[in-house]
Structure 1
């Protein structure tokens, strides 16, 4: 890799690493696995860096690699987790503290996302966190737009159910 390419990749990496890591966390729900997924995506991007002619396509390539890595990782047998009947709830301060409420809502959302199957979770994260349209998500995941729409509907239903259960336990 030429020196200029190395510098260009290093600048891109520095600019994107935090947002890619956050997206990876939303995809898998674990910071250590998120680091692994982000690393996998950046290594893959680094291998292809010199061949990418349209630098505007880099974000899409990275997003696609990240989402696919998260889905593939969730299918590995050693990653299958046993779910318990109860999810530990964060302590909410008395008096309706706004920060505590936000933390609680975020914890509920993350716990709910963890209960959504990996492909549906990837669709939800790409659509609603990354702000991609249906066509872009379909390209990122290598599936049809109809599949994205059905996975979105199923994922939202699963998330609503999970959030209803999560929120219902606070009362």
Structure 2
């Protein structure tokens, strides 16, 4: 296979073509890809391929169709090869975990603080909070399991939650 050699006359023709049709071809490329930068790259690649084939194109009135077909084929090849789309952004993600994976260390610290606060509750309140919120029992089921009335469960859980809200160690976790 020989490398095509474009003459200066062909280069002039090609340059004139790109100047007149460039904006239209860019709109076509933008319709093929969601990212404007990728559209510019796609058009550049298609125009490079067209320039290399310029001598072989017999009817230069049909160049628009040739370039459009090259755009579509090039884009198809790109999305077949590309496994992950990359998009540039104006802002970098913050290292504090926003926009990324949650900070597991912080979550574990909050969980440990909550477990310590629950362990400081009186045994009866602790049992009711654990059954209600960790075991996901209803007030009736909790009352039956502990052999007390539903009203006792309601009032004891309410007092326990008040103590947890006022716990200084848990206030640090919420702030």
After TM superposition, the score normalised by the length of structure 2 is: 0.44
Q: Over alpha carbons, which structure has the higher Rg?
A: 2
* More contact order relative to length (CA 8 Å, sep ≥ 6): 1
Higher helix share: 1
